[in-house]
Structure 1
Amino acid sequence: MKRPPYLKTSIGIGVLFIILMFLQSWLEKQPEALTASSEPETQTEATAVQPSERLVEDKRVYEGHNGTNLEHVYITIFDQSAVPENDITFYDLNESYKQYSNLDSGPKLDILFQTGTAKGPSDNGFISFGTDKPNATIELRGRSSRLEAQKSYKIRLQDNGGLWYGQSVINLNKHADDRTRVRNMLAFDYFRRIPDLISLRTNFVQLHVKDLTDPSSEGKFKSYGLYTHVEQLNEEALAARGLNPDGHLYKAENFEFYRYPDQLNHQNDPNYDKKKFEQVLKINGNENHDELLQMLDDINDLSKPFDEVFDTYFQEDNYLTWLAVNILFGNYDTMSTNYYLYSPLNSKKWYFIPWDFDKALGRDAERTDGLPQWQQGIQRYWGTVLHRRYLRDPENAAALTAKIEELSAIITEKTTKELIDSYYPVVKQLALQEPDLSYLGIEASEFDPAYRKLEQVTSRYKEQYMKSLEVPMPIFLHYERKNGRDVFTWEASHDLQNDKLSYEFQLSKTPGFESLIMQIKEQPDFTYNMAALPAGRYYWRVLVHDDKGHEQIPFDYYRDNAGIVYWGVQQIVVPGGSSS
């Protein structure tokens, strides 16, 4: 992590700064300093990614691709008389989330996949084997989206099904939480313009379904409304971008860069359980996990200098860009999930690739429960060991701020307006007609105001980030009964300005802390123990204060039976109390 602009301003280091800048300038002029071309258009797979390089995609993959054109997808769901393997109905598939918590083990149906126009399917290569035979399968996709009334789907084309724009997997996302219906499209359109990340092709799709498992369908296609297809990140997508498709690719499911020894094992370990492994990281590439586990061992080895570990395994521009765009887009769902880690074959480097932005770009302001302060800036990533170790260094925090300023020249209100203006004709037409109108979540008259809020949303997140730099970092709470006493402990917080911090311990019988059983405003240690509490339910928290008046709450939260969330609060139940 060598960034001359952030070196200390002593005379000796100033000379070193000049030397390093001269060397950097000289290296940049050497034709063989980097094996990958600085011009993505001339990049080839042979020179795509080397261990010391920045992540560069071949932009030619987007030539001729216009995601704002509405694509019409037609699927025919065969009944069991035509396809014996289809022993459930399409309705059963949509209801399967009640039985299968892990959708990868859920049911699939054989279907016929076709494309066409608003008038119907066309003879376009997908029906060369006849309209009475399947060429694809369909299944539910998404974790939270499977609970929505309108489902999202994953379609996998079979070998005889051809490819759709060079892709064998079609992700049809309903984005039930997105009133604008364009957040993913906007994010991935921006990624095409941002260096050190790769984007994914996106399309607006109107889905038409002929459900032959439903006798009332009368064998006719029915519109399921507007979807957004986001290209599946897999070997095909990597190869199309001139990147090595044979490396390691993991999708973060519940991953905070800890070692997770009970779940993340070597593939040859007798205790290796792929299902448990994929509860943390979903495997989308090479199933040899040696490189991943070595990286995690080193990240969690506090005896090793972090700068050396980071420089061994990560490319800083990619890492900072990923962090910065998630902050500028307000993507609060990225502390431990919703991104990919990619490592090319024969490389120790790991690159961050973004994924899923329908909970970004203003979604936080639409939530009825709001979000805690630590979700509004740099604190969001403090709960992940890699980010925490990196951001503790003031130079690194300054580098992140510099990257946010750099990207703010690309992510502008003017550019955002131009992009969402190009989406508007297709999106408004379909969003304000059935079946989508009934599930939009707002009145039709509110669509335009909600849509136009996208223009200023990144400016708001940048302002939030700048304010967050002044606030202490959140902490985790821990309670246990030990030797007949109740022991409350918590982590030490951190302040980027090295302000003096104090901790306020509070204990209450209600999660809203309307009245307090115990309050210690300046607890000197990171623990408090007391005589055992009587049986019952209790709630506690620790507020972190700096000497400039800023306050932070813990990462913990409590959700009551009515679904109300109390941020920064931990519930404890002393045995023998009421179960209500």
Structure 2
Amino acid sequence: MKIKLIGMLVIINLLVTSCLNSDFGENNNSNNTSIKDNQDIYKEEDVIVKELYITVLPAETGHDEYGKTFSQLNESSIDDSVDDIKVKIIFQEGSNGIISSTDFGYGLTDYNGIMELRGQSSRLAEIKSYKIKLNKNSPWNEFLTINLNKHHFDTLRIRNKLSFDLIKSIPNITSLRTEFIHLYIKDLSEEDYTKEYLDFGLYTQIEHVDTDFLKNHNLDQNGSLYKVENFEFYKYEDYLKLKEDAEYNEKEFEKILEIKGSEDHEKLIDMLDDLNNKFIHINDVFDKYFDRENYLTWLATNILFDNIDTASRNYFLYSESDSDTWYFLPWDYDKGLGGYRSSRAIWQNGLSNYWGNVLTNRFFRNKDNLEDLNKKIEEIHEIISEEKMENLIDLYKPIAIEFLRNEAEDIGDKFNLDEINLEFEELQKNIELNKANYYENLEKPMPVFMGEPTMLGNNLHFQWTESYDFQGDAFTYSVEISDAPKFETILYSKNDIHEKELIIDMLPKGTYYWRVFVTDSNENKMDAFDLYIEAESNGYYFGTKKFYVN
């Protein structure tokens, strides 16, 4: 009996090992090939600025969907609970101020498209960006959806196009077709037919990512495609459910991931289950569900372009219908290449910008994976050569200067060519700067998340998550408490904390602010992920949390 029992255990062990190798082993990913873009759809560098003419048609009084004016469209908020305002338009192309018989939309008197605002933070800009959906039987240059981006927060107006034109030359990832647009809009929505076309200046048309995009880029139209809205690879069990689940709610689902392709979410949920299971080795999970070259390329490109608004949003996840592999597709680089001008946290540089992401956090604790990222950084740095950057900037600079000068004149502002030339010089050096910042950032300990202070009898208990250091350096935590978010006055501070918690005597009743820093043995310092935004001043205080003592 003892011999038979041992024999059975050996067989069971072999079976379990076989199953694990089948599910998560090296051979499982052997059929995966990195994503290849369709280079045939890209034209040679084209610096033509196309003219588009949009006529906003009269609001349909009493109509729920098209009863608003163009002014109401532009004043609409970004409240998710309110449906987007839409207006009917006539969409036409012209040249030199004339819409001729050979131009798209010539002679139209009825609408051929619907226009609404596009973007999130861009809706707060003075001059808006627009999304246009054309009638299905009348695409413009193969496009049924037209994304007209003003890039109001990009002072040069060219960073998004420049980024995607650079990405076209990078393997293992897709780019987007882009073109400069000179936009004119005539507003007849209030039935004032004396109005003429107004010059809205320079826009960039960005290719829309949907199932047509998949087809045009030689990808699987039947595959899964999600636009990442607020996603860091957690399981999100209250939101991400199978469509067959009785509690499935598409609107709740799309708070995390906007559905652009297949509505079969099973392999997405399977991937998240395995990724969040710490008993499965991260490389086994990664090799089953992701393509190494594609992921490293996407991440290295974002780091080199300093496109920091990609930690939890502003990209797409795509998977072929007959594969478990997920690919990262880029989207929106208008704040990259030096375009992010707001104050920023220490962690909003390099790899620490992505450390709150489950995939990034687990994957790069493996030193070999980090070394692969370093190699990819160097590889892409070589592809995006200084000469390539200079050539593209030289093509786009005259266009930008012409339109920026006209915009300044329109609002009675002073046009400062010296400032613009200086910014173009800084743009030229941006890739080198971001590469240097990446390596410098790797020397710092990773950021932590701060918990909510709790009362323990006559004490206050503070907690935070554990940091991580790529070099294996020892690190300690520091805590500061103040009665104001600027920390002009420090009410309490303590350094050299080795634990992930601190207990102090109870503070008097009142409102307080606290922050945590991590410092390694080489004096490299990092702040926490947390952010406090002061409503009155709209002030951003990084690494800070507010709390109350009652």
State the secondary structure of the residue aligned to 1:517: strand
Cα offsets for 1:78-134 (capped at 9, x unmatched): 114799663211111111226x4367x312111111111122223346437x52111
Q: Give 2:17's aligned residue.
A: none
**Root mean square deviation, CA, Å:** 2.2
User: Amino acid of the residue matched to residue 501 of structure 1?
Assistant: F
Give the structure 2 partner of residue 417 of structure 1: 390
Please tell me the residue identity of whatever aligns with 2:84.
G
For the structure 1 residues 391 and 252, does the alpha-carbon distance in structure 2 shift closer, same or farther, using more than 3 Å as the test? Answer: same
* Counterpart selection for 1:207 from 183, 196, 200: 183
Single out whichever of 393-402 and 430-439 deviates more from structure 2: 430-439
SS of the residue 2:393 aligns to: helix
Alignment of 1:114 with 2:97, yes or no, is no
Which stretch of the first structure deviates more once superposed, 463-472 or 529-538?
A: 529-538
Deviates more, 1:501-510 or 1:249-258: 501-510
- The residue type equivalent to 2:95 in the other structure is T
Aligned CA distance change for structure 1 residues 491 and 215 (closer, same or farther; 3 Å): same
Normalising by structure 1, report the TM-score. Answer: 0.85
How far off its partner does 1:518 sit?
Answer: 2.3
Alignment-derived partner of residue 25 in structure 1: none
Give me the whole-angstrom Cα distance separating, in 2, the residues matched to 1:56 and 1:159.
Answer: 28
- For 1:512, the equivalent position in structure 2 comes to 486
Verify the 8 A CA contact 1:171 1:229 in the aligned structure 2. Answer: yes
Identity of aligned residues (%): 38
Aligned to 2:153: 177
- Structure 1 pair 482–439 and aligned structure 2 pair: CA distance change class (3 A): farther
> Do the aligned partners of residues 571 and 440 (structure 1) sit closer, same or farther apart at CA in structure 2, a change above 3 Å counting?
farther
Give the conservation status (yes or no) of the 8 Å contact 1:506–1:520.
Answer: yes
Of 51, 70, 79, the residue aligned with 1:72 is 51
2:518 is aligned with 1:539: no
CA deviations over 1:162-211 (Å, ceiling 9, x no partner): 22221111000000110111110111001110000101100100111111
Trace 1:229-244 onto structure 2 (pairs within 5 A). Answer: 229-244=205-220
Contact 2:408-2:415 within 8 A present in 1 as well: no
Select which of 79, 89, 100 maps to 2:69.
89
Corresponding residue SS for 1:565 = strand
Per-residue CA shift, 1:338-396, capped at 9, x if unaligned?
111111111100000111111110123x33xx212211211111011100101111111
Give the direction of change, closer, same or farther, for the CA distance of 1:489–1:553 in structure 2 (3 Å limit).
Answer: same
- Give the CA deviation at 1:452: 2.6
Amino acid at match of 1:58: N
Q: TM-score, normalised by structure 2?
A: 0.90
The one of 351, 357, 360 equivalent to 2:336 is 360
Single out whichever of 325-334 and 408-417 deviates more from structure 2. 408-417
- Residues of 2 paired with 1:319 and 1:327: CA distance? 12
1:486 deviates by 2.4
State the partner residue of 1:259. 235
* Mapped partners of 2:408, 2:191: distance in 1: 20
Q: Could you say which residue in structure 2 is the equivalent of 1:4?
A: none
Which residue type is aligned with residue 313 of structure 1? Y
**1:114–1:122: 8 Å Cα contact kept in structure 2?**
no
Q: Secondary structure at the match of 1:207?
A: strand
**Is 1:60 aligned to 2:60, yes or no?**
no
Instruction: Tell me the amino acid that sits aligned with residue 106 of structure 1.
Output: D
**Aligned-pair CA distance for 1:412:** 2.2
More divergent stretch after superposition (323-332 vs 208-217): 208-217
Question: Are 2:126 and 1:149 aligned?
Answer: yes
Once residues 511 and 415 of structure 2 are traced to their aligned partners in structure 1, the CA distance between those partners, rounded to angstroms, is: 38
8 Å CA contact 2:480–2:515 kept in 1: the answer is: yes
Of 87, 108, 115, the match for 1:131: 108
Residue pairs, 1:274-353, within 5 angstroms: 274-353=250-329
Please say if residues 224 and 435 of structure 1, whose CA atoms lie closer than 8 Å, have aligned partners that are also in contact: no
Q: Counterpart of 1:567?
A: 542
Runs (5+) with no aligned partner, structure 2: 1-28
Q: 1:524: Cα distance to partner? A: 2.6
Aligned: 1:497 with 2:471:
yes
Q: 8 Å contact 1:170–1:230 — kept in the other structure?
A: yes
Matches within 5 A, 1:442-461: 443-461=416-434
Q: CA deviation at 1:68?
A: 2.1
Would the alpha carbon gap of residues 287 and 441 (structure 1) be closer, same or farther in structure 2, given more than 3 Å must change?
Answer: farther
Shift of 1:438: 4.0
Of 434, 437, 440, the residue aligned with 1:464 is 437
| Separation in 2, partners of 1:283, 1:241 | 19
Q: Which runs of 5+ in 1 are unaligned?
A: 1-48, 576-580
Query: Do the aligned partners of residues 236 and 542 (structure 1) sit closer, same or farther apart at CA in structure 2, a change above 3 Å counting?
Result: same
Shift of 1:217: 6.4
Per-residue CA distance 1:36-95 (angstroms, 9 max, x = gap): xxxxxxxxxxxxx996011001211114x6542101111111114799663211111111
CA contact (8 A) 2:444 2:469 kept: yes
Q: Structure 1: which amino acid aligns with 2:99?
A: P
Distance 1:262 1:441 in 2: 52
